[in-house]
A and B are shown apart, each in its own frame.
Chain A
Amino acid sequence: MVKMDKEIEILLVEDNATDEELATIALKKHNIKNKLKIARDGVEALEYLFGSVDSETLKCFGPLVILLDLKLPRINGLEVLRRIKSHPEAKKIPVVILTSSSEEKDILESYQLGANSYIRKPVDFNQFEEAINQIGLYWLVLNKQSS
């Protein structure tokens, strides 16, 4: 039942196909070749992590980093974040908010809910790439996760 991939995974929760493609390109370009999972909304993300939306059992154990957009169809990013960070096991998974919003209340709420980082998607692709690179570098290489 429980997945125990030794390979580090990145879960990208992104509903926008363009952003998904750009993120993929950026990750590839910086040689971050970890297994990339795509969830296209909050429901898919929760299903991937817990098996089903209402489940209380974590199905997917790290090593893992989640890149989470906030504005998502069905279940939004903040709700996904709340579910992850209120779960005794899942809360150990680093969550990086990657969103277009720079609204103060989104940033504040994300951190209050336990987001590990908050990055605003820049319009400039070079900056976007740089941000993705930083995330990969920090969360996948430098940061030693508790297992």
Chain B
Amino acid sequence: MQNFTDLEQKEQTVQTAREYAESIVETLREPLIVLDADLKVISANRTFYQTFKTKPEETEGKLVYDIGNQQWNIPKLRELLEEILPKNTSFDNFEVEHDFPHLGKRIMLLNARLIPQPPAKPRIILLAIEDITERKRVEALRESEEKFRNLVENASIGIFREKIDGSVVLDANPKFCDMLGLTREEFVGQPSAIAWVNPERREEMVRLLRETGSVNNYEIDIRTKSGEIRTVIMSITAYPKLGYLEGGLQDITDRKQMEHKLNEAYQKIKTHTKELEMINENLDSFAYSVSHDLRAPLRAISGFAQVLKDTHGDKIDEEMRHYLNRISEGAQKMGQLIDDLLGFSRATRSEIKYETINVENIVNDLVKAYRDVEPDRAIEFIVNPLGEVEADKEMLKVVFSNLLQNAVKFTIDRKKARIEIGREQKEDHIQFLVKDNGIGFDMKYKDKLFKAFQRLQTDERFSGTGIGLTTVERIVSKHGGNIWANGEVDKGAEFYFTLPSKRHVDD
């Protein structure tokens, strides 16, 4: 009897507990279903039926995947119920996105518990389904709003909102406040006139906004707290329904100043270039008239001295003849000096006209000319293969002509003069050599070789104007090459110069 009562009492307790549990389930605001171990629906709460538009008789006893036109036949759910749950006895907050027939695309948060039962009884599963679509949307909106807010707060351009008539500042980002030197409190809520100067520009802007709804890159001045006037460009859109204007602006004061300075510099350069061009032109005509007019009197000096000797030879004694010769020589020397100076100035001023040149042809022509001029001298010219090079033909002629002329001149006292011309291909340049066995020079003075009017020889026989090698140096360096010399007194000289293998495109 006692046992029976106990049993009855226990059953009573269990019954109470079940009813209690069922009423909790029933009153839950979230859909909840109870499944048996075979995933068949034992029961579901009212919210479930309401939410998913089904009835108990269509649901209870059915496999969870089959109910409501198989709307729960979701692969992710199957995996959760059949694999995760048996192992872990629960899963929490599992998000499933699914297109439900009556609800449309929804995000559901799933929570499940495997409820332990007395050993004899089969286990049951509680599956709670929470529709978090709306919550997610709000979250996303808030996030996007925050992102947008950050964007505005951290923007490097000024952003603001004003009343539709442009009268009052409704909002402004920190950048705009910084630009004005005002705090947000000092600016937001204040009349717009606090920032904008030139009222007529403002009026025009407001008019444009009224007519077209927006303005782009509108230039206008603003006044900072300290009274400084800065120039900005703005782009603004009007939202008449919302009653405000929104826009962004950028300070272009520095840019404008820079542009102004650049323009000034550009104008200066233009003027200078024009001046330089003019100077160059003047130099050209100067050189032209020098060549023409300075030589004419020299011809007169040299010419009439000669004519005097020729026509009055019988009345001229040796001493007179000597002086007349001196006069002629002087005039000729001057003529040579003028020619050399002109050559030098031409080499300095002229632009390089690049072409592919057969160097051997140039050198052979020069060699032939020297042989013609000095037929009595035994000069051995050794012309090695010289190939081709990209350079200005006239200028290269001047280079070889000067170097060969020197070699011929400084070997004048050699019984057997030997002049060799060679070429060597280096990594990125071509090296030429003009070598003689003449009187050479002291390496002490090698730096003076290429300086204008510096002469290393005092001997009359080696007369020169001291401009030849300077001209050569100028031409070589204009081509982007180098020139140097090795020598020893009485042991000959070697002149090396280089030219780039490939000229630069911008040449």
CB contact under 8 A between A121 and B328, given known A18-B300, A22-B300, A102-B339? no
Question: Which residues in chain B, 383-413, are within 8 Å of chain A measured between CB atoms?
Answer: 394
Segment at the interface with A among B289-297, B372-380, B430-438, B486-494: B289-297
* Chain A residues closer than 8 Å to B307, beta-carbon distance: 22, 25, 125
Instruction: Evaluate contact between B306 and A123: CB separation under 8 angstroms.
Output: no
Taken together as a complex, chains A and B put the C-alpha atoms of A99 and B307 apart, in Å, by 21
| Given known A-B contacts A123-B302, A125-B307, A100 and B296 have beta carbons under 8 A apart | yes
**Per-residue CB proximity of B197-209 to A under 8 Å, as 1/0?**
0000000000000
> A67: shortest Cβ distance to chain B, in Å?
15
User: Across the two chains, which residue of chain A brings its CB closest to B284?
Assistant: A103
B-side contacts of A99, CB under 8 Å: 292
Query: In whole angstroms, what is the CA distance A18 to B307 when docked?
Result: 12
Q: Does B292 lie within 8 Å of A123, measured CB to CB?
A: no
Among the interface residues B291, B295, B303, which one has the most CB atoms of the partner chain A within 10 A? B303
Q: Which B residues touch A102, using CB under 8 A?
A: 291, 339, 342
Interface CB pairs A-B, < 8 A, 16: A18-B300, A18-B304, A22-B304, A25-B307, A29-B310, A100-B295, A100-B296, A101-B291, A102-B291, A103-B288, A121-B299, A122-B335, A123-B331, A125-B299, A128-B299, A128-B303
A86 in contact (CB, < 8 A)? no
The secondary-structure label for the interface of chain B is: helix
Q: A-B contact count, CB below 8 Å?
A: 62
> Which 3 residue pairs are nearest across A and B when measured between Cβ atoms?
A123-B335, A125-B303, A125-B306
Chain A residues within 8 Å of B297, by CB: 18
Q: Measured between alpha carbons, how far is A87 from B87 in the docked complex, in Å?
A: 115
Cβ B288 vs Cβ A124 within 8 A = no
Distance of A29 Cα from B309 Cα, bound (Å): 14
What B residues does A22 contact at CB under 8 A? 299-300, 303-304, 307
Residues of A within 8 A of B292 (CB): 71, 99-101
Residue B298 interfacial (CB < 8 Å):
yes
User: CB of A104 within 8 A of chain B?
Assistant: yes
Closest to B295 in A: A100
Q: How distant is the Cα of A71 from the Cα of B332 in the complex, in angstroms? A: 22
A123 touches B288 (CB 8 A): no
B306 near A126 with CB under 8 A, answer yes
Rounded to whole angstroms, the CA-CA distance of A121 and B291 in the bound complex is 11
What is the minimal beta-carbon distance from A147 to any residue of chain B, in angstroms? 35
User: Across the interface, which residues of B come within 8 angstroms of A121, CB to CB?
Assistant: 295, 299
**Contact at B291–A100, with CB atoms within 8 Å?**
yes
Which of A29, A100, A101, A124 meets B332, CB within 8 Å?
A124
Contact bitstring B291-335, A, C-beta under 8 A = 1, else 0 = 111011111101111110010000000000000000010011011
CA distance A14 to B421 in the complex (A): 44
Within 8 A of B (CB), among A29-49: 29
> How far is the CB of A97 from the nearest CB of chain B, in Å?
13
List 5 other contacts, CB 8 Å, given A18-B296, A123-B298, A125-B299.
A22-B303, A29-B310, A100-B291, A100-B293, A125-B303
A145 beta carbon closer than 8 Å to chain B = no
Q: Which residues in chain A, 98-113, are within 8 Å of chain B measured between CB atoms?
A: 99-104
CA–CA, A103 and B304, complex, Å: 26
Contact A123 to B394, CB < 8 A, known contacts A71-B292, A101-B288, A101-B291: no
A116 within 8 A of B: no
Q: Could you tell me the distance in whole angstroms from the C-beta of A94 to the nearest C-beta in chain B?
A: 23
Considering the chains assembled together, what is the distance between the CA atoms of A16 and B296 in angstroms? 8
Do A19 and B288 touch (CB < 8 A)? no
Which A residues, 76 to 120, have Cβ-Cβ distances below 8 Å to chain B?
A: 99-104
Chain A CB within 10 A, most for which of B292, B298, B342: B292
Q: How far is the CB of A78 from chain B (nearest CB, A)?
A: 13
**Bound form: Cα–Cα A122–B334 in Å:** 12
The chain A residue with its CB closest to the CB of B305 is A125
